[in-house]
Structures are given as C-alpha cells and as structure tokens.
C-alpha cells in the first residue's frame, strides 16, 4: 500500500467526530433528502493512479463545483475576454449576494460566486451549439465516464426555488452583462449545478487543473498552462465562498466546494482530489470534507506552501 492509500484509509474514522455538527443544504429541497453521514474521497495523481475510500463512487450533486468546469470551458472558447465581464477578487460575501453587484456596476467579483457563474453560463451559451449536450460531453470526456447525467429532480428544485438567481440574472442583464435571454441562461446554469457525479469522477475530471491543463485521458490540452494556473489561483482565493481565507490558512490548497457537500482540491504537479460529505458548516462548505483535507495535508505533507 502506498503512503497516500494508508492515510486515505484512516480518514472516514478520523472525520467521524464532525458528524452532526453541520447540516445538509436545504434551501434547494432536493438536496436535503441526502443521507447526512456519507463520506467519500478520491485522489487522482498526474501519473494516472486513482485511490478511493468510503462512498467515493456514489453520485452526489456537484452544485458549485461545476463552476470550475464551466469557467474552464469558457476560457477555452473566449480566452481572456471572460475577465472583461467578471472580476478575479474574493467577494467576502455569501455566494448568492446581490448587494455587491450594485456598487460594482454589474461586474461580478469572481467566476465562482453565483453572479459570476451566471455570466459564465451566458458566455457559453453564445459559443456552444448544443450547450447542455456539449457540456455533458466535456465533463464525460474529462472523467472518462459516459454514464454521467444531470439530476432532473435537483434541476427542478433549483428552478422552483431559484428566485435569487433570477434576481441576479435580471440585475446583471440591466447592466448589459447578460446577452442571451435570462430564462435560457438560468436553465443552463441550473443544469450545470444539477450534474450528478462521484468523488472519483470529479477527482479525475479535475486532473487537468493540477497538470498544466493537459487532458487526463487524451494527449491534448484542455487549457494552456497559464490558464490552468489561473484556475488554481481562483480556487485558492475564491473557491470556498466567504471562508476562502480559513481554507487557505488551514488547508492551503486550491479548492472549490459546492452545497451538495463536495470539495475538489488540487496539488499542482501532483494530484487532484475530491472529498464529499453532505453536512455543511455556516458558510456552506462540508465540515467533514474540510476536516479531511486538513488531516490529509498534515499527514502527507503534500501542500502548496
Ligand atoms: N445551485 C446553487 C445555487 O445557485 C449553487 C450553490 C453552491 O453550490 O454554491 O444557489
């Protein structure tokens, strides 16, 4: 057994003391139905080895983790022009905040808050001929899993409870920062959030971010090395809601979380990983997931800093 496997095997027990301290997201009712005590983690190394523990092959709702992949695809098609419509600063505000947009003239702080990801969805709609199909093909190719689907129930639940996202999108449109019809943009945005994937799928799909932009299973780039570096930077500074400082301090890896309880992380040049456990802390990040990342970094000594 490698050192990584040995440490990974200890994590389900090591994080079990955090169960019951948070709770699964319930503002999207379909997410509240998940069993709270799930825990899984998968690691995918740049030299092509995968390691899993616990519920790592069970599907869950990717939610905001999809924002990393939609941004990557937007960078592929639109390059630097993406950042004329979206900033690169941490927001320090909740992920679905409306107030900052007013002071900043409809330019979202970064691509990982909802407003930024809605603009990314708009950019993709302008470039993709069949946006949902094209995105699904992209994510299936990155994770080498043709069975990945979106979850219709989560999608419906997002749509029916998406008043804030509608407010954000119409507000962005009033500043000229949404070009396509709002209902189409949000239909696509909710689709991105409602993908159903496992830790293993997500660890594999994130490998290009840890590996200079190279496709994990094909001999071709997904992004340039500079673009991959930028994704890592944004994950580090903006990837974990208004808790990004705590994550950088205690974990020290580029991470992106979602309210489905998943967190992806990278150690550039070495590996990508995904941890999943549905109970969230106050800021919307998985509590057992954060604990697992802290322990993993401490025990392996694998870190960015
Ligand atoms: N679909 C969620 C929303 O738009 C994403 C939230 C998240 O995971 O940050 O509210």
Domains along the chain?
Answer: 3-300 (3.40.710.10)
DSSP for residue 65: G
Instruction: Check residue 159 and give its pLDDT.
Output: 93
Phi-psi region of 106 (alpha: psi -120 to 50; beta: other; left: phi over 0): left
Residue from 67, 97, 159, 277 carrying the catalytic annotation: 67
Q: In what order do the strands lie in the sheet with 262-267?
A: 50-54, 40-45, 271-276, 262-267, 255-257
Q: Which segments of the chain does DSSP mark as H helices, in order?
A: 3-15, 66-78, 82-85, 99-103, 114-127, 131-143, 152-160, 163-174, 182-193, 199-205, 207-210, 225-238, 244-250, 287-300
The two three-digit tokens of residue 11, written as one number? 């994590």
Which of the listed residues 63, 67, 240 should we mutate to test ligand 1's pocket, taking the one with most ligand atoms within 8 A of CB? 63
27-76 pLDDT, tens digit each: 888 889 899 999 999 999 999 999 999 999 999 999 999 999 999 999 99
Residue 295 burial by Cβ neighbours in a 10 Å radius (0-12, 13-18, 19+) = middle
64 a catalytic residue: yes
> How many other C-beta atoms are found inside a 10 Å radius of the C-beta of residue 296?
25
Between 271 and 33, the higher pLDDT residue: 271
Mean pLDDT of the chain: 96
Which residues sit with their C-beta closer than 6 Å to ligand 1? 63-64, 95-96, 114, 158, 165, 193, 258-259
DSSP letter string over 184-247? HHHHHHHHHHTEEE-HHHHHHHTHHHHTTTB-SSSSSBSS-HHHHHHHHHHHHHHTTGGGHHHH
Give residue 297 CA to ligand 1 midpoint distance, Å: 27
pLDDT tops 70 at residue 5: yes
Give residue 48 CA to ligand 1 midpoint distance, Å: 31
Atom of ligand 1 nearest to the CA of 27: 10
Task: Please report which confidence band the pLDDT of residue 243 belongs to, taking 50, 70 and 90 as the band edges.
Answer: very high
- Alpha carbon separation from 55 to 59, 120, 128, 200, 211 (Å, rounded): 9, 31, 34, 10, 25
Residue from 34, 259, 275, 297 carrying the catalytic annotation: 259
Give residue 241 CA to ligand 1 midpoint distance, Å: 11
Give residue 91 CA to ligand 1 midpoint distance, Å: 15
pLDDT tops 70 at residue 81: yes
pTM equals 0.97
**Measured in whole angstroms, how far is the alpha carbon of residue 2 from the centre of its chain?**
28
Alpha-carbon gap, residue 137 to 183, rounded angstroms: 23
- 273 DSSP β-pair partners: 43, 265
- Alpha carbon separation from 29 to 32, 150, 160, 186 (Å, rounded): 5, 16, 10, 18
Which of the listed residues 259, 262, 285 should we mutate to test ligand 1's pocket, taking the one with most ligand atoms within 8 A of CB? 259
Q: What percent of the chain has pLDDT over 90?
A: 90
Check if the beta carbon of residue 186 is closer than 8 Å to that of residue 162: yes
67 a catalytic residue: yes
124-169 pLDDT, tens digit each: 999 999 999 999 999 999 999 999 999 999 999 999 999 999 999 9
């Amino acid at each position: 057994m490698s050192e990584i496997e040995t440490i990974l095997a200890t994590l389900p027990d090591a994080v079990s003391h955090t169960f019951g301290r948070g709770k699964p997201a319930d503002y999207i009712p379909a997410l509240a139905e998940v069993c709270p005590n799930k825990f899984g983690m998968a690691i995918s190394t740049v030299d092509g080895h995968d390691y899993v523990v616990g519920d790592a092959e069970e599907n869950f709702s990717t939610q905001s983790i999809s924002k990393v992949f939609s941004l990557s695809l937007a960078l592929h098609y639109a390059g630097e022009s993406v950042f004329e419509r979206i900033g690169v600063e941490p927001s320090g505000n909740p992920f679905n905040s409306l107030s900052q947009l007013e002071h900043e003239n409809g330019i979202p702080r970064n691509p990982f808050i909802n407003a930024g990801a809605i603009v990314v969805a708009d950019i993709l709609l302008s470039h993709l001929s069949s946006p949902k199909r094209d995105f699904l093909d992209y994510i299936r190719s990155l994770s080498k899993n043709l069975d990945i689907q979106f979850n219709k129930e989560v999608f419906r639940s997002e749509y029916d409870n998406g008043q804030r996202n509608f407010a954000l999108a119409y507000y962005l449109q009033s500043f000229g920062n949404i070009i396509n019809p709002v209902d189409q943009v949000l239909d696509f945005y909710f689709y991105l959030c409602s993908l159903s994937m496992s830790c293993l799928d997500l660890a594999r799909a994130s490998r290009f971010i840890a590996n200079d932009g190279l496709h994990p299973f094909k001999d071709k780039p997904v992004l340039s090395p500079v673009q991959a570096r930028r994704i890592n930077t944004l994950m580090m500074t903006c990837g974990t809601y208004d808790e990004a400082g705590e994550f950088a301090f205690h974990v020290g890896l580029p991470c992106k979380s979602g309210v489905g309880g998943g967190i992806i992380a990278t150690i550039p040049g070495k590996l990508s990983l995904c941890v999943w456990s549905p109970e969230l802390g106050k800021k919307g990040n998985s509590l057992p997931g954060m604990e697992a990342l802290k322990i993993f970094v401490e025990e392996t000594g694998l870190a960015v800093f």
